[in-house]
Amino acid sequence: MRSILTALQEGRLFELPDAGKSRALEFLARILDANPDIEVGTDTIEEVQKRELECNTGIGMGVGVPHIRARREEGDLFCAVGWSAQGIDYGSPDGARVYLVVMYYIPGAQKNVYLKEISTLVKAMRKSGGIEPIAHAPDLNAVRNLLLDWVSNVLGDAGPESVARMIKLDVRQTQTPAAALPIPEGTVVAGARPEAKVAAFQVLTGPIASIVLSSDAAWVAALEKENHLAQRLATGPSFAAGGRQVFVLGSRTFAAGRVLYDCVVLGAAP
Domains of the chain, residue spans: 2-174, 187-268
Question: What is the per-residue pLDDT for 239?
Answer: 83
Question: What is the per-residue pLDDT for 110?
Answer: 92
- Per-residue pLDDT at 152 exceeds 90: no
Q: Compute the Cα dihedral for 20, 15, 98, 47 and give only its sign.
A: positive
Domain spanning 2-174: CATH 3.20.20.70: no
pTM of the full structure = 0.61
Write out 64-97 in H/E/C secondary structure. Answer: ECCEEECCCCCCCCEEEEEEEEEEECCCCCCCCC
Beta strands 187-188 and 98-106 are: unpaired
Torsion angle of the four alpha carbons 168, 170, 176, 180, in this order, in degrees rounded to the nearest 10:
-70
Distance of CA 52 to the CA centre of its chain: 19
pLDDT one-digit tens code per residue, 192-206: 333 345 677 889 998
> Amino acid identity, residue 130?
G
Residue 75, number of CB atoms within 10 A of its CB = 19
